[in-house]
Amino acid sequence: MLGFNQFTVKKNERVLLLRNGDFDGLYAAGKHRVFTGFDTVQLERFSLAEPAFDHELADYFLAREPELVQREFVQVSLGETEVGLRHEDGVLVQILPPATRKLYWRGLREQRVDVIDVAADARLPAELLAKLQSVALRPRAVQGLEGALLVQVPEFHAGVLTLEGQMQALLPPGNHGFWRFNRQVAVTSVDLRSQIAEVSGQEILTRDKVGLRLNLSAVWRFSDVRQALAQMPKPAEHVYRELQFGLRAAVGEQTLDALLENKSAIDQTVLAQVRERLEGSGVVLESVGVKDIILPGEMKTILAQVVEAEKSAQANVIRRREETAATRSLLNTAKVMEGNPVALRMKELETLERVAERIDKISVVGGLDQVLNGLVTLRPNGS
């Protein structure tokens, strides 16, 4: 049926008119009246709050409607090595990858796209890096941020930059950014401070076939990060294995008695051996120390008995030595008193004093001399 179609376009809208499924016109804000005739007319409404024009006619507009594109859209056509930075009202909102062809509505927001050629330099410009680092503080994140690698190298660390599988210069502490587009880039943070390697629960046989369990602790650090990573994919694991081998060699060549007598010998042997094996690897071993030597249960019992026997023998030696010294002292005293009546009298008085300390009351008959004579003539059977 012949007729007209009237419609209204809001100020924040655009209307795409399709006649018989094909593009017929694009209408801005206002009231519009179109002749339909016998055709089928379809209206598609687009809100300017959604700036991207994602429609199957976008390529057609770019190819056949240059005036329409110039009037209604901001056009983006990026090359194979170009990246687009889209801004809305001066604020970065999106990173567009290379070879992007896009249309964005003109209208509510000012659209601006800055183009950067990323073929020559993989690093992000300093100004852009500062913007992207502050994205977390903004209420709206930047779209397409996965196209940039943002790295923060902590203090006392170094960043190992790998580009297309090849190691590049080390990155100093701070913020760094690199383009991911058209390249493989990765950054690994390496701690330059001294690190601790714990080698625990090592079951090792001594030279005299005694099984021991040892715990060892070592301190190491990087002396040349590039050299270390060029030779060892995982330096920390390599140091751990070398410490294991060094500990087994040091313990296996000594007897149990030698180990228990001088534990520091293990430290010195392991330190010297592992240092030699790590020479020229970019890793330096600073110190090694055995924390624990754990004996089997039956060996503990045997050693406890040995120690008890040794201590008992030492106690017997000391006891005999004291008895000999006491006997010698008594003999010397007897010799002195034999030729000295005064000394003998003093010894008698001393004996009487000891006896008097143990008796509450003493009755003396016949004088003190008779008491002393009685004490001297006392027999062992008490008669």
Q: Which CATH code fits 195-295?
A: 3.30.479.30
pLDDT tens, residue by residue, 51-91: 999 999 999 999 999 999 999 999 999 999 999 999 999 88
Instruction: Look at the alpha carbons of 330, 332, 338, 340 in this order and tell me if their dihedral is positive or negative.
Output: negative
DSSP 16: E
User: Under a CB-based contact definition with an 8 Å cutoff, are residues 187 and 164 in contact?
Assistant: no
pLDDT at 299: 57
Q: DSSP readout, 140-182?
A: SPPBTGGGEEEEEEPTTEEEEEEETTEEEEEEPSEEEEEE-TT
Instruction: Look at the alpha carbons of 230, 233, 238, 241 in this order and tell me if their dihedral is positive or negative.
Output: negative
Q: Which amino acid is located at 88 in the chain?
A: E
- In this structure, are strands 157-163 and 166-171 parallel, antiparallel, or unpaired? antiparallel
User: Taking the domains of the chain in order of start, what are their residue ranges?
Assistant: 195-295, 340-383
User: What does the block give as tokens for 313?
Assistant: 């023998």
- Rounded Cα gap, residues 131 and 283, in angstroms: 38
- CB burial of 2-13 (b: ≥16 within 10 Å; e: otherwise) equals eeeeeeebeeeb
pLDDT at 383: 42
What is the distance of C-alpha 367 from the center of its chain?
93
User: Under a CB-based contact definition with an 8 Å cutoff, are residues 86 and 56 in contact?
Assistant: no
Which residues in the chain show pLDDT less than 50? 378-383
pLDDT at 379: 46
Q: Maximum distance among all alpha carbons in the chain? A: 168
Sequence-distant (6+) residues with CB within 8 A of 221 are: 192, 193, 194, 195, 283, 284, 286
- Rounded Cα gap, residues 45 and 48, in angstroms: 10
pLDDT at 317: 77
Decide: residue 304, CB within 10 A, 0-12 exposed, 13-18 middle, 19+ buried: exposed
- Tokens 């920390």, residue? 236
Decide: residue 265, CB within 10 A, 0-12 exposed, 13-18 middle, 19+ buried: middle
How many residues can be counted in the chain? 383
Return the axis-axis angle of helices 297-338 and 341-358, rounded to nearest 10°. Answer: 130
Sequence-distant (6+) residues with CB within 8 A of 165 are: 184
User: Under a CB-based contact definition with an 8 Å cutoff, are residues 137 and 174 in contact?
Assistant: no
Q: Which amino acid is located at 310 in the chain?
A: E
Q: Which amino acid is located at 12 in the chain?
A: N
pTM metric for this prediction? 0.69
User: What does the block give as tokens for 297?
Assistant: 């249960």
- Rounded Cα gap, residues 119 and 263, in angstroms: 61
Helix (H) / strand (E) containing 77: strand 73-77
SS3 135: helix
